[in-house]
Structure 1
Amino acid sequence: MVTLIVLFAALIILILALAFSKSTSKVMSSNTKPVANLGKDELLSCYLPTQVQQRLSDVSVTWEKKGLKVYQYENGAPALQGQASEFRGRAQLFSDAVATGNASLLLQSVRSSDEGEYTCSISSSAGRGKVNIQLRVAVYSAATFRFSNGTLTAEASRWFPKPNVTWMHQTGIVLNATTNLTTSSAGIFSIISTLNADQSSDTYSCRIENNLVTAIAEATITGADVSGGTYFAFSVASTLFASVYLNTMTSLLCTYYTT
């Protein structure tokens, strides 16, 4: 009899523990410090992990920024009364995704004033919680290359904050180059950087970076032609972290091209 009572009590505790755990499921984000490109669209990640397809009427989502209502979804539809004027027509959730616990917010045509901390709150039959997301805004663009008469030129039309430019040979040697920065009336920097590249077949990397964004562009010269591609990395916790990560990536690229 005592054994049955103990088992019964343990079962009740287990049921209560599972119910409590479910009701306090953690709302998460795949990126709590995104860097948006000014004038472009940015998706702010927010989701409640669940394996259950929920009824939309059971899900409530609220996005706020410093007390301002960015977007709200409840009773199976957007509830935009009281939405801050600066977000009208620019903020959007996706109903199909909401039903699976995904409350990510699409913020269109990002402005510099959009920078700041956002709070995403989810309440549903699968759990509830909130997560804070620090949106940062920068301006960045990929580099394009030209090769003529032994001169390799990289151009990038939109950068802010002010970037630094470094050239490197595929062997890992840092190269001397000439870089000119000009600014528009809006304070956006454009870049033209030139490098002496006499070899008819060689690969170089042009690294453009500031404290938020780093672009590493690879340029491969074949005869009179040049081809290239750019990948971006964004600072996560600090510029030191980003620097270590990018130095590692650059070393790996150099190793790849020399093997």
Structure 2
Amino acid sequence: MKPLFLPDLIFIFLVLLLWPLSEEFTVIGPQQPIVAFVGTEVTLPCHLHPQLDATYMEVVWFHGQHSNVVHRYKYAQDYLKYQHPDYRGRTEFLRENISHGSVALRLHQIRPSDEGKYRCFFESPSHYNEAEFQLKVIGEFTVIGPQQPIVALVGTEVTLPCYLHPQWDATYMEVIWFHGQNSSLVHHYKNAQEFLKYQHLDYRGRTEFLRENIYHGSVALRLHQIRPSDEGKYRCFFESPSHYHEAEFQVNVTGIGSAPHIYIDGVGYKRLHLVCTSTGWYPEPEVQWKNHKEEPLSGGSVTMKKVNGLFSVETSITVSANSKENVSCVIGSPHQSQKKEAHIAWSGKFTVIGPHEPIIALVGREVTLPCYLHPKLDAQNMEVVWFHGQNSSLVYHYKHAWDYLKYQHQDYQGRTEFLQENITSGNVSLRIHHIRPSDEGKYRCFFESSSYYHEAEFQVYVAGIGSAPHIYKESAGNKRLYLVCTSTGWYPEPEVQWKNHQEEPLSGGSVTMKKVNGLFSVEMSIIVSANSKENVSCVIGILHFSQKMEASFNLADASFPDDIHWMEIWIGTIVFSSIVFLVIIIIIIFKCQKRKKDKGKDVHMAARLHH
């Protein structure tokens, strides 16, 4: 026994040397019960506080009232001599962070008997402590899906949610959505990834698996580009190694069709045959004719046609021509309260209503001219025209449900846009682009049906906000300045004014206006005294707008040519004259010396010739 005892003594001696005798610690385990499914695995973490190196400590996990040894770590290695038989081959000690006092035990192939209280025990040479926590093992779960039918709109997307009760990590479960009686595979999640090998052709490229909360057993499937064929029963299926369950729910697909269109198909003896059409509905919509009191009318007929899975509707009714009230065609989806309707009045009378206040349009921008009918009537088969000015220039013409621009005035060609989104309710607008000064004036919005016509008149004012004013100066003599202010691009002719620093008008100025391409250029001027040292402002604005533009000039910073002192001028003149006189004297001296030299040369030459 001695050879076996001596190594143990040496090891214990080394631990005592390395470990502070007075060190104390607390073992901290999971604060909430841990949930595990039968057949899966679970991790049981523990750590020390404060952080201590537990490499040479003894660490043991116990289970239940009998303190069965689940796993034991001793002498810096697994020590499984006394491990309970139920856990042999199923435990894994995780010690990557043991130097910081953090470890975990992974328990594989969870069994129902693994449920209960666990103790995580640490012991150093001088201290020991443990933490207790609960493991709950679940063998069964329930899948819960939507409790009410889900309504999905054709062409949009829908989300199909499912979750587990009780909450459980479904990361490694198999999750499948099936559709219809044939259990077409919509989407498949397996082995922690999407598995779409057997996905039905109708759903390829249209599904998106949402698993942000899969750790809590909550997932969802998003289905894009909804089709009528997507309607029906869906099943959301979950499977763990030991259990499976599914939830079933209904998806109702609906298509909101086009706005109904009513027209008079025929006129008999005191009878009118009305037809109402609409397309793009799903499922087969509910159709009804109503009078002006919203009471149903009987005697109508309905024809349904299915194109690409969507229904087209044509309904008709014959009514008495003696009635002068509105009749409505109402179409709606059975899955939604939303309905669409159109109105018609065969009495022939209606009122066209346009803008009550003048419309202001800015040069170069666009403007919208709205008009609508009262009462609301379907104007798709009416004639709608906008006229401009005293000559009734044709701005835009709508006829036979089409743009009819054969006689459109050339000034508006390429600049008009007819807005007819609400024409079935008698509400239309005309948009004019690239506004010009010539667009100003009276407009008439004209509607004509087969039996009646009416129009509304309104005013459009055009405004051009010109460039920022620019002030420059010129000398006017006698300690005065001539200030000039210019600006371009105004319409109509703007109001102009000079003001002092107290915003009081200045008199005596002059103004020149020039018209170029229909826009006004302004040049205004004024003469100011050098005695004033305050600001002067040039203000330009338009009568129709409160907005104005102005520029300021500070007289205190201005220099006046007339302020040069006469003494400075006199001194400058004397200096200049002196310089000129000095230059003349130098020139005279230079010429005299040259002449003297030339004379000496002549005498010397004459003497040489004489000899």
Normalized against structure 1, the TM-score is what? 0.51
Aligned-residue offset at 1:62: 1.6
Larger relative contact order (CA 8 Å, sep ≥ 6): 1
- 1:22 and 1:45, CA in 2 relative to 1: closer, same or farther beyond 3 A? farther
What does residue 217 of structure 1 align with? Answer: 339
Give, as a single letter, the amino acid of the residue that structure 2 aligns with 1:191.
Answer: V
Deviation at 1:131, TM superposition (A): 0.6
- Bigger Rg, structure 1 or 2: 2
What CA deviation, in whole Å up to 9, does each residue of 1:199-254 have, x standing for no partner? 68x9x672445xx646652659871546799xxxxxxxxxxxxxxxxxxxxxxxxx
Measured against aligned partners, the alpha-carbon deviations of 1:166-215 in whole angstroms (never above 9, x if no partner) come to 13457552135866636366575322557889568x9x672445xx6466
2:243 pairs with 1:119: no
Q: Are 1:47 and 2:171 counterparts? A: no
TM-aligned CA deviation for residue 59 of structure 1: 5.5
**Match of 2:601?**
none
Partner of 1:81: 197
Instruction: Give the structure 2 partner of residue 57 of structure 1.
Output: 171
Is the CA contact 2:262–2:329 (under 8 Å) kept in the aligned structure 1? Answer: no
Q: Is the 8 A contact 2:147 2:249 kept in 1?
A: no
Deviation at 1:76, TM superposition (A): 4.2
**Which of 170, 174, 195 does residue 296 from structure 2 map onto?**
174
* Mapped contact 1:50–1:100 kept (Cα < 8 A): no
**Offset of 1:140 from its aligned partner?**
3.1
Q: Is the Cα contact below 8 Å between 1:122 and 1:130 reproduced in 2?
A: yes
Secondary structure of the structure 2 residue equivalent to 1:45:
strand
In the other structure, the counterpart of 2:249 is 133
Q: Is the 8 A contact 1:206 1:216 kept in 2?
A: no
Name the aligned partner's letter for residue 206 of structure 1. V
Q: 2:305 is matched with which residue?
A: 183
Q: Answer whether contact 2:263 2:274 (CA < 8 A) is retained.
A: yes
CA contact (8 A) 2:238 2:244 kept: yes
Q: Distance in 1 between matches of 2:160 and 2:245?
A: 14
Query: Structure 1 141/112 Cα, relative in aligned 2: closer, same or farther at 3 Å?
Result: closer
Q: Across the two proteins, how many residue pairs are aligned to each other? A: 205
- For the pair 1:94 / 2:205, whether they are aligned, the reply is no
Confirm or deny: 8 A CA contact 2:209 2:222 kept in the other structure.
yes
Deviation, 1:20, is 7.8
Q: Distance in 2 between matches of 1:97 and 1:154?
A: 49
Query: What is the CA–CA distance in structure 1 between the aligned matches of 2:184 and 2:261, rounded to whole Å?
Result: 47
Contact 1:166 1:174 in 2 (8 A): yes
User: Any idea what the Cα deviations from partners look like across 1:137-189, whole Å, max 9, x if unmatched?
Assistant: 6x63245256899x998643123565441134575521358666363665753
Asked if 2 retains the 8 angstrom alpha-carbon contact of 1:91 and 1:108, the reply is yes
- Classify 1:92/1:143 alpha carbon distance in 2 versus 1 (closer, same or farther; 3 Å): same
Paired AA for residue 161 in structure 2:
C
Distance 1:74 1:24 in 2: 18
- CA displacement, residues 92-150 of structure 1 (integer Å, 9 cap, x when unaligned): 222325455443322334456555543202368xx97421234566x63245256899x
CA positional deviation for 1:42:
4.9
Q: Which residue, 271, 279, 299 being the options, matches 1:157?
A: 279
Q: Deviations over 1:3-50 (max 9, x none)?
A: xxxxx9xxxxxx9xxx5889534412143x44655x634535332267
Q: Give the Cα separation in 2 of the matches to 1:205 and 1:97.
A: 48
Q: Distance in 2 between matches of 1:67 and 1:188?
A: 24
SS where residue 120 of structure 1 aligns? Answer: strand
In the alignment, what sits opposite 2:431? none
Verify the 8 A CA contact 2:144 2:165 in the aligned structure 1: no
Is the Cα contact below 8 Å between 1:182 and 1:190 reproduced in 2? yes
Q: Distance between the aligned counterparts of 1:116 and 1:208, measured in 2?
A: 20
Kept after mapping to 2: 8 A contact 1:180/1:192: yes
How many Å separate the matches in 2 of 1:26 and 1:191? 41
Q: Secondary structure at the match of 1:40?
A: coil
Using the alignment, how far apart are the partners of 2:292 and 2:213 within structure 1?
Answer: 44
Secondary structure at 2:171 match in 1: helix
Give % identity.
Answer: 18
Q: Which runs of 5+ in 2 are unaligned?
A: 1-64, 66-115, 117-135, 265-272, 344-372, 378-421, 426-611
Structure with the largest fraction of strand = 2
Task: Let me know the Cα RMSD of the aligned residues.
Answer: 5.1
Q: Secondary structure at the match of 1:93?
A: strand
Alpha-carbon separation, structure 1, partners of 2:316 and 2:152: 28
Pairing partner for 1:206 from 311, 326, 330:
330
- Aligned-partner SS, 2:212: helix
Name the CA distance, whole Å, in 2 between partners of 1:173 and 1:90.
44
